[in-house]
Structure 1
Amino acid sequence: MIILNKQNQASIKDLLGGCDFFNSYLYLLPVEGALVGGFCFEETKSGVYIHKYIHPLFNRQYEFNLNFSESIPYPKGFINKDNAKNSNVVDQIISIITPDVDEVKRKSNMNYLNDYIEHNKALLNNEWIHKDYALNLILLDKLDESVYHLDKILSLNLPINRKQIIDDCAVVKQTILEGKDPKLLLNDWVREMKDRLCQSN
C-alpha cells in the first residue's frame, strides 16, 4: 500500500499549505537561500516512519537524502499500515508534522547547517557530508576553511560510486584557482535544483 500517493499528497498540500512534494519528500515553501527543509516519509512493510530533514540544494544529486535529518520519535512518528487503511491517514500525517513545521523552517539555513556539523565533527567521516560542509563554507564567505576541506576530500581515494564527490570538489577548486568567485558556481547549482523541483510538480 502506497500511503503517500498523489491523492494524499494533494490533500496534505491543501490542508498544511505552504508545501510541495519531491518524490517522498515534503518540502516547505517558500524555498529561499541554498537549503530546503521538510519531512520525509519512509515507507516500510509495516508502515511509514516520518523524519524531519534539511537538504542543501547545491548538493547535485538527483534525490534528496537524510544526511541531515532527525526521526520523529516512535510511536508518534510512525503510522502503522493497518491504520493507514483508514480514510483519516492524511489527518494523521498533518497532526504529526504540524508541531514541527516552525522548527524545520528555522533550521533550513546555512548557518544552522554549519553549526550542526561543527558540533558533530564525526559527521565529516561521511564524504558526502564533508563535501556539503566544504561547499557551505564558501557560501558563508569562509573560503580559506573551505579550500582546506576541499583539499582533504580531493586527497581521498574514493570508490567509483562516490565519483561525484571528487568531481564536484574538483570543479569548485578549479574555479577558485582560476580566480573566479565559487559562490556564483554554487548559486548556479542551487538554481538548477530549484528548477528541478518546479519541473517535478
Structure 2
Amino acid sequence: MKDSDIEEKSLKELQKELSQSLILEDSFNSVEKVAGVDQAFTDRFVYSGLIVQDKSFLNLEKKCARAKIKFPYIPGLLAFREIPSMLKVWKKAEGKADLLFVDGHGIAHPRGLGLASHIGIVLDVPTIGIAKNVLVGCFEEPEKVGEAKDLEYGGEVVGKVLKSKEDCNPIFISPGHKISLETSLNLVRKFLKDHKLPEPTYEADRLVEECKEKN
C-alpha cells in the first residue's frame, strides 16, 4: 500500500471521528449577519472570498485571502485542501457573522463531514452547506420554484434539494454544524433574491473570482 493510500485512509477515519462532534440543532437565538464564503483555484493557490451581509442583503464586509495548495484534489476530502485559506479569510473579518453559508456540502457527504461541517467544527460557528451538485444520496427532482425535496442517504434525510430559480438546476442544502436541517432550508430561502444561490454565496463567488484575477 502506498503512503498516499495510508494518508487518505487515515483522513477518512478522521472525518468519521469528527462527524461525531457535529451538533445538528439550532445553537443560536437570532441571525442578524450572515457570511458567505467561496473558493477559487489556480495551479498554486486556493483563494477564499468572504462576504458579510445583513438581513436586507447589504454588504457589510468583503475580505479575500489565499493559501498555497498543499493537498491534492481528492473528492470527499476537499476540506483539507480548502480550509487553510478559509481560516485566513475568516480571521480578516472585523465583525464576525452569526452564520456561515459555505459553497459545499454539510452532512450530505460519504462520511457525514463535508466542507461546511468541517469548517463549522474548526471555527465553532453555525454553518450551512449549499452545493450546486449532488455528492451522495437520492432524491426526487423538485419542479416548482420554491419547492424542496428530501435528499436521502443511508436511510436518513441528510439534506434538501431546492429549486431556487426558474430554468436552473436545483441546489443541495445540508446542515453543516450547530443548525438543524429545517432551519438551514428556511435561512437559505430567506436569503434568496434574484439568483440561483443565496445572496451571500452569490456575492462571495463573484468576489473570489475578482481576487483571483487581481493576483
TM-score of the two chains, using structure 1 as the length reference: 0.29
TM-score of the two chains, using structure 2 as the length reference: 0.28
**Greater relative CO (CA pairs within 8 A, separation 6+):** 2
User: Which structure has the highest strand share of the two?
Assistant: 2
